[in-house]
Amino acid sequence: MSQPGPPAMPRHVAVIMDGNGRWAERRGQPRSDGHRAGVESVRQVVRAASDLGIGWLTLYAFSTENWNRPKAEVDLLMKLPEEYFEQELPEVIERRCRIRTIGRRDRLPPSVRRSLEDAMTRTQDGTGMQLVFALSYGGRGEIVEAVRRIVRDHEVGRIDVDSLDEKLFTSYLDEPELPDVDLLIRTGGESRVSNFLLWQIAYAELHVSECMWPDFGRAQLEAALADFQGRERRFGQTSAQVRSTRGKS
Ligand code: FPP
């Protein structure tokens, strides 16, 4: 876990990319145009975060609840990751980024799964920014799935109840290496966590941007980082404790 006190650069930034639909509707365009414009923001933010030395970037691209949207919108949202990988993979590889994924991959259409798995394989040696796509993802579902795996391992005697602690629990999540989120950004102006990374955001700093996602780029990311750097992270301690620890380090 990070240390109390004024934070340096966040190690893990997670983003709820909201507002594509409203961005399009305000222009009198179909919602699909908003999602397409949203891919351009993904491109810009990935570049900027990698340039700025962010270690982990997790993007909420499709929630389990998004399956309930109209079929045409779901079909488009399923196509976008494939198109993104097709176009961006060479640059992602050049940047030494590694693509990872969280969520119910078994629910994705086979072609999406294949392109995701191909992108993950081709970037698996990437030691730069770890770029995580949350696809068909829900935080509660991830936790329930972890419990299921734990119970199974318990049944075959692989773990005993007393050894279960937060660290061991984390190792049963979709991506065990995913660090705690330091900064959670939500675009589109609404202050909700929408079932995103419920376990990992326990101590995250929240930054709500009024920008709709297609208008969010490098400058807005830098503003979010500056906001983060102005916070005092206490992790349950008092301000005085944090100040005295800071003096010693
Ligand atoms: C929420 O906006 C956004 C989504 C449900 C999808 C986000 C997807 C992208 C930004 C593109 C993903 C691209 C890649 C490369 C994975 P909304 O439609 O709910 O907006 P609204 O609240 O204004 O209606």
Query: For 81-108, how does the pLDDT look when each residue is reduced to its tens digit (9 = 90+)?
Result: 999 999 999 999 999 999 999 999 999 9
In a domain, 100, yes or no: yes
In the structure, what pLDDT confidence band is assigned to residue 3 with cuts at 50, 70 and 90?
low
Q: CA–CA separation, 91 vs 174, rounded Å?
A: 26
> Coil, helix or strand for 117?
helix
In a domain, 144, yes or no: no
Q: Which of 66, 195, 215, 227 is catalytic?
A: 66
| Listed residue (235, 242, 201, 157) closest to 13, CA to CA | 201
Residue 20 has a CB neighbour count (10 Å cut-off) of 24
pLDDT tens digits, one per residue of 203-212: 999 999 999 9
Q: For the stretch 41-73, what's the b/e string if a residue is b when 16 or more beta carbons lie within 10 angstroms of its beta carbon?
A: bbebbbbbbbeeebebbbbbbbbbebeebeeee
In a domain, 145, yes or no: no
Nearest CA to ligand 1 atom 2: 18
In a domain, 29, yes or no: yes
pLDDT (0 to 100) of residue 4 = 66
In the structure, what pLDDT confidence band is assigned to residue 234 with cuts at 50, 70 and 90?
confident
Count of domains observed in the chain: 1
In a domain, 196, yes or no: yes
In a domain, 6, yes or no: no
What is the domain range of residue 81?
12-138+180-248
**Greater confidence, 6 or 102?**
102
Residue whose CB lies within 8 A of the most ligand 1 atoms, among 133, 192, 213, 215, for a mutation test? 213
Q: Quote the pTM value.
A: 0.94
pLDDT tens digits, one per residue of 152-173: 999 999 999 999 999 999 999 9
pLDDT (0 to 100) of residue 249 = 44
- Whether residue 68 lies in the annotated active site: no
Q: What is the CATH number of the domain that holds 60?
A: 3.40.1180.10
Bridge partners (DSSP) of residue 131 are 57, 99
Q: Which ranges of 3-135 would DSSP assign to H, the alpha helix?
A: 20-26, 31-51, 71-94, 110-122
